[in-house]
Homo-oligomer: A and B are copies of this chain.
Amino acid sequence: MNAYQDLESRFRRRALLGEAMAILHWDYATTMPSGAAEGRAEQLTALTLESQAILTEPDVADLLDNAEASVDGADAWQAANLGRMRRAWQHANAVPPDLVAALTRAGSACEMVWREARQANDFQRLCPHLEKVVALTRESAMARADALDCSPYDALLDQYEPGGSTARIDTLFADLEGFLPGFLEKVLEAQASRPEPVIPDGPFPVDAQRDLGERLMRALGFDFDQGRLDVSHHPFTGGVVDDVRITTRYSEEDFTQSLMGTLHETGHALYEMGLPRDWRYQPVGEAGGMALHESQSLLVEMQVCRGRHFLDYAAPLMREVFGGSGPAWEIDNLARLYAKVARGLIRVDADEVTYPLHVMLRYRLERAILSGDLAVKDLPGAWNDAMEDLVGIRPPDDRDGCMQDIHWMDGAYGYFPTYTLGALAAAQLFAAATAEAPDILPGISRGDFGPLLAWLRANVHGHGRRFDTDALLTEATGKPLDTQAFKAHLQARYFD
């Protein structure tokens, strides 16, 4: 066994621990009884530490050096895999296991307090727990920054967006910040001049909603032999490549939002299901980072399912499943409903025009928190000011203000910008796909998603983590990520 093969076998062990963690995470969010939360946190911490220990074995450094000296550069997959191994090794060796464990435990504890503190709109109660998570995250960020030779924030970002940087994000976000507020004004004006969309009248039985969701998932290419649809408080995609588990939540009064949630997660799921199976247990076989992951969910949701072609196909199905008839069920109304724009308080409910503003707010504040420019105790005021500045409304309380998201509670700093990078990438990829494969759009109108899925498999899913976001975009669309396609998409959807 040469050095590279030895590394492969170690990374395989690590990947299998990661798969176990993925199932335990899913179970935590969907199934686990409430009294098991602390025990589960210990299990996940233990698996995290075992996984880290595989990469902190003292001989791994030599193995990497030897493999890098000898690996055949002509095998692009192997070379990319080795690059990913090196990066994973840097991260694993940067942060001492005690700090990893302390951060995992502090995150779990903070999350548990947060659930109740948010309900009670009690930021004071949350504050000391959040301060602890921030302090430990800062420590971890500095350690990673030393190892990766970058800024602490970029070191955190690198966990979610390999190769990403604030420099790159700042440029893209500055462009959007110059465009979106004015565009939002115009959309709201135009929207006011059109008929107000109507939500179809319920109630909509949960069983029927699930049937419709599963039918559309199947049509899009979701394989139920290797996946599931369940219910959780917040929709997410979890599990592993041959066992992809998406969740949604149902409201009997309104099926439209839940359905779009299901379709969003289906986009994530198709990415996971399409990853290169030959590389399943290697770092290069993983998805390409959270920006590309979000590009796949937003491509399905925003580019495809909220658009006219999809509604040509789906609206009759909706009428059939729910026995709907009348103006609320017409394609025009559903299209207006699914493209409704509003200044709102809650990120997860935001439309695609205002969503990036919610992200910019978080990006701005989390950098300030980590650098120490903003104290955790001053977060509520800073949040409300930034919301007023960026989105144009002021939260009446912290529940729907700075306490609305789980990310910071759990120690996920550097994650938020990937949502908007994903939105940009989705638009750019979909524009390239439809230009290159003219059968995609007519296929969507008929419920034939084969041409779309084939393009995504070939240009995104099948690449695994071979490329960083910009490199993949360049391969697939001819240029690195920019804002042009996103702006063109918004223009077309809201004004054409």
- A interface residues (Cβ-Cβ under 8 A, vs B): 13, 16-17, 19-20, 23-24, 27, 31-36, 38-40, 42-43, 46-47, 49-50, 223-228, 240-243
User: Across the interface, which residues of B come within 8 angstroms of A223, CB to CB?
Assistant: 35
A228 x B47 contact (CB < 8 A): no
User: Which listed residue, B16, B24, B35, B49, touches A42 by the CB 8 Å rule?
Assistant: B16
Given contact pairs A36-B240, A39-B240, a sample of 5 additional A-B residue pairs in the complex whose CB atoms are under 8 Å apart: A17-B46, A19-B43, A20-B47, A35-B243, A39-B243
State in angstroms the CA–CA spacing of A47 and B15 once bound together: 11
Dominant SS at the A interface? helix
Smallest beta-carbon distance A204→chain B, Å:
21
B228 x A46 contact (CB < 8 A): no
User: Across the interface, which residues of B come within 8 angstroms of A34, CB to CB?
Assistant: 225
State in angstroms the CA–CA spacing of A225 and B36 once bound together: 8
User: Across the interface, which residues of B come within 8 angstroms of A43, CB to CB?
Assistant: 16, 19-20, 23, 240
State in angstroms the CA–CA spacing of A227 and B36 once bound together: 8
Number of identical protomers: 2
B20 x A226 contact (CB < 8 A): no
Name the residue in A27, A38, A43, A226 with the highest tally of chain B Cβ atoms < 10 Å from its Cβ: A43
State in angstroms the CA–CA spacing of A17 and B48 once bound together: 11
User: Across the interface, which residues of B come within 8 angstroms of A226, CB to CB?
Assistant: 33, 35-36
B16 x A23 contact (CB < 8 A): no
Smallest beta-carbon distance A207→chain B, Å:
14
State in angstroms the CA–CA spacing of A226 and B20 once bound together: 21
State in angstroms the CA–CA spacing of A353 and B419 once bound together: 64
- Answer whether A35 and B242 are a contact pair too, CB < 8 Å, given A16-B42, A24-B20, A50-B17: yes
B23 x A243 contact (CB < 8 A): no
User: Across the interface, which residues of B come within 8 angstroms of A240, CB to CB?
Assistant: 36, 39, 43
When C-beta atoms are compared, the residue in chain B nearest to A37 turns out to be B242
User: Across the interface, which residues of B come within 8 angstroms of A31, CB to CB?
Assistant: 31, 228
Q: List 25 A-B contacts (CB under 8 A).
A: A13-B50, A16-B43, A16-B47, A20-B20, A20-B24, A20-B43, A20-B46, A20-B47, A23-B23, A23-B24, A23-B27, A27-B27, A33-B224, A33-B243, A34-B225, A35-B225, A35-B226, A35-B242, A35-B243, A36-B240, A36-B242, A38-B242, A39-B240, A39-B242, A40-B243
State in angstroms the CA–CA spacing of A240 and B39 once bound together: 9
When C-beta atoms are compared, the residue in chain B nearest to A14 turns out to be B46
State in angstroms the CA–CA spacing of A241 and B35 once bound together: 10
User: Across the interface, which residues of B come within 8 angstroms of A39, CB to CB?
Assistant: 19, 240-243
User: Across the interface, which residues of B come within 8 angstroms of A242, CB to CB?
Assistant: 35-36, 38-39
User: Across the interface, which residues of B come within 8 angstroms of A17, CB to CB?
Assistant: 46-47, 50
State in angstroms the CA–CA spacing of A39 and B239 once bound together: 11
Smallest beta-carbon distance A101→chain B, Å:
12
User: Across the interface, which residues of B come within 8 angstroms of A24, CB to CB?
Assistant: 20, 23-24
User: Across the interface, which residues of B come within 8 angstroms of A46, CB to CB?
Assistant: 13, 16-17, 20
Smallest beta-carbon distance A251→chain B, Å:
22
When C-beta atoms are compared, the residue in chain B nearest to A42 turns out to be B16
Smallest beta-carbon distance A11→chain B, Å:
12
Smallest beta-carbon distance A85→chain B, Å:
18
When C-beta atoms are compared, the residue in chain B nearest to A228 turns out to be B33
User: Which listed residue, B13, B19, B33, B227, touches A227 by the CB 8 Å rule?
Assistant: B33
When C-beta atoms are compared, the residue in chain B nearest to A227 turns out to be B33
Smallest beta-carbon distance A281→chain B, Å:
8
Smallest beta-carbon distance A351→chain B, Å:
33
Smallest beta-carbon distance A243→chain B, Å:
4
List the 3 closest pairs (A to B, CB-CB), nearest first: A16-B46, A36-B243, A35-B225
User: Across the interface, which residues of B come within 8 angstroms of A50, CB to CB?
Assistant: 13, 17, 50
Smallest beta-carbon distance A135→chain B, Å:
26
When C-beta atoms are compared, the residue in chain B nearest to A38 turns out to be B242
Smallest beta-carbon distance A36→chain B, Å:
4
Smallest beta-carbon distance A274→chain B, Å:
15
State in angstroms the CA–CA spacing of A227 and B228 once bound together: 22
When C-beta atoms are compared, the residue in chain B nearest to A281 turns out to be B42
User: Across the interface, which residues of B come within 8 angstroms of A33, CB to CB?
Assistant: 224-228, 243
State in angstroms the CA–CA spacing of A172 and B36 once bound together: 40
State in angstroms the CA–CA spacing of A47 and B39 once bound together: 18
User: Across the interface, which residues of B come within 8 angstroms of A32, CB to CB?
Assistant: 243
User: Across the interface, which residues of B come within 8 angstroms of A47, CB to CB?
Assistant: 16-17, 20
Smallest beta-carbon distance A421→chain B, Å:
30
State in angstroms the CA–CA spacing of A240 and B42 once bound together: 12
When C-beta atoms are compared, the residue in chain B nearest to A50 turns out to be B50
